[in-house]
Structure 1
Amino acid sequence: MGKDVFRCVECNEKATELHRDYSNGILKITICESCQKPVDKYIEYDPVIILIDAILCKSQAFRHILFNSSLNIHWKLCVFFLLCEAYLRWSLLHGSEHSSDPADIIRYTKEWEFYGMFALAALELAAFCGGVLLCLWLVVVRLKGGTVEFRLLLRALLLSCYGKVLLIPTVIWEHDYSPLCLGLIKLFVLTSNSQAIRVILNSSRHISVMAVFVGLLSEGCVSQICKRLPWTIQDMLAFQ
């Protein structure tokens, strides 16, 4: 990697290297010139520890993942998250239908309605990301004259949706408190999105919260528009 591509996980200052490799396999972690702390302490940590800190929404862990790692699976994770969301909606659609016949299970797995739910989930995610990026463009670029790396920001938004994986066990272990769990998962994902935006822009919390709110509002508008259309994807697939 080139120079000035790393960031100190403590103060967000740029760094040219994370560690220096001496002879005989001896590595020395680089010390940040600004805060006099290790540039990235997480290079010595186990991935499980990094994951726990990311779940706790620690900015240091987010900086390590977004700036100092070569993790480039955000599009694959995006598809997986959309599948989780589609499965949740599809299961709720057929939640009242119970059958012990294996043929019914096979028939349901082949239903086109699942692909319709996937398309709707993808459309809402696109509306959310578009609303966030538009809000940040208006506030940061147009009003404050700053710069925004939209490609890096989009990657951060997709990676910070990792909490949607919890949708699957929520559906599998159905319980009376499932709606509450789904609400908490949504809140956790939005909190992670806000923290990711804050880390990328190195800005105050109110800007990231406002951007997430605008994205959520955009997602809700698209969802309501799809419901009020005279035709829906579900209706179209019903004729297949």
Structure 2
Amino acid sequence: MKCVECGKEVPKLYEELVKGNIALFQCEACGKVADKYVEYEFTLVFLNLILCKSQVYRHIIFNIDWSTSTYDILKILFFSSILDSSLASCESLPCWLLQIIKNCAVIILFFTGVYIAAYSSGIKCSKMFLLRAILFSSFGKLGNFMIITWKYSSLPSTFMALFIYLNNMIAIRECLEVHTIKAEIFISFAWMFKTLLSSWFI
């Protein structure tokens, strides 16, 4: 668990002094509440995600025990691939399945590129933490449904791509605990790695 304000390790996020009543733990390093999002409703957390706040990504990546199993990660990967496939002009089930498989492979290649770049820089990280950070920060793909509604206009698709890139960068930066520039370098390498291999094999 980590403080969402300064990123330092904390032993706990809150104490339950009385049953049903909790007291948020104060970080000793920065003197602020370690994780204010513990008391936030889902709607407020989602709004902070839309605002691309680093604190909410620290909360999601390090302080929430979600998607810890391989099965959970595969479900999120599959759903993300379906969102990517929603813009494809497929009219048959085999076409849809092939498109979903291709998109799964592209996501895995992007993750592999980030991991290789981080490992080459001497940064050790949990593969599960990194993969779920990348998958969750791509929630902007939900905008694909709006793109379909807007008849595939290039403007909303461009904004959506920039939004996903920004969230990926923040999530990778917080997960790997690196500077913004280094996170952008990792993403650039992963994008080239993904593009090169997908053009060869996919």
What's the TM-score once normalised by structure 2's chain length? 0.90
Task: State the superposition RMSD in angstroms.
Answer: 1.8
Match of 2:171 among 196, 199, 208: 196
Structure 1: distance between partners of 2:19 and 2:107:
49
Q: Number of aligned pairs?
A: 198
Give, as a single letter, the amino acid of the residue that structure 2 aligns with 1:162.
F
Structure 1 residue 151: Cα displacement = 2.2
Structure 1 residue 25: Cα displacement = 3.3
> What is the correspondence of 1:83-94 to structure 2 with a 5 Å cutoff?
83-90=82-89
Identity %: 26
Query: Which residue does the alignment assign to 1:61?
Result: 56
Give, as a single letter, the amino acid of the residue that structure 2 aligns with 1:16.
P
Structure 1: distance between partners of 2:13 and 2:180:
27
- Cα deviation code 1:163-212 (max 9, x no counterpart): 1111122113315xx22222221221121111111111221101110111
Query: Which residue does the alignment assign to 1:47?
Result: 42
Structure 1 residue 67: Cα displacement = 0.9
SS of 1:16's equivalent in the other structure is coil
Pairing 1:160–2:137 present: yes
Query: Which residue does the alignment assign to 1:225?
Result: 200
SS of 1:90's equivalent in the other structure is coil
SS of 2:181's equivalent in the other structure is helix
> What is the correspondence of 1:207-218 to structure 2 with a 5 Å cutoff?
207-218=182-193
SS of 1:15's equivalent in the other structure is coil
- Listed as ranges, the gaps of 5+ residues in structure 2 are none
Q: State which structure, 1 or 2, has the greater radius of gyration over its C-alpha atoms.
A: 1
Question: Is the CA contact 2:118–2:124 (under 8 Å) kept in the aligned structure 1?
Answer: no
Structure 1 residue 38: Cα displacement = 0.4
Structure 1: distance between partners of 2:18 and 2:101:
54
Structure 2: distance between partners of 1:134 and 1:153:
12
Match of 2:156 among 170, 181, 185: 181
Question: Is the CA contact 1:75–1:158 (under 8 Å) kept in the aligned structure 2?
Answer: no
Structure 1 residue 90: Cα displacement = 2.7
Question: Is the CA contact 1:90–1:117 (under 8 Å) kept in the aligned structure 2?
Answer: no
Aligned pair in 2 of structure 1 residues 219, 39: CA closer, same or farther (>3 Å)? same
Query: Which residue does the alignment assign to 1:205?
Result: 180
Match of 1:12 among 7, 28, 31: 7
What's the TM-score once normalised by structure 1's chain length? 0.77
- Cα deviation code 1:21-75 (max 9, x no counterpart): 1135332111101101001001111111111111221110001111111222543
Aligned pair in 2 of structure 1 residues 226, 23: CA closer, same or farther (>3 Å)? closer
Query: Which residue does the alignment assign to 1:172?
Result: 149
Pairing 1:115–2:103 present: no
- Listed as ranges, the gaps of 5+ residues in structure 1 are 1-5, 92-107, 228-240
Structure 1 residue 222: Cα displacement = 2.9
Give, as a single letter, the amino acid of the residue that structure 2 aligns with 1:183.
T
Pairing 1:133–2:115 present: yes
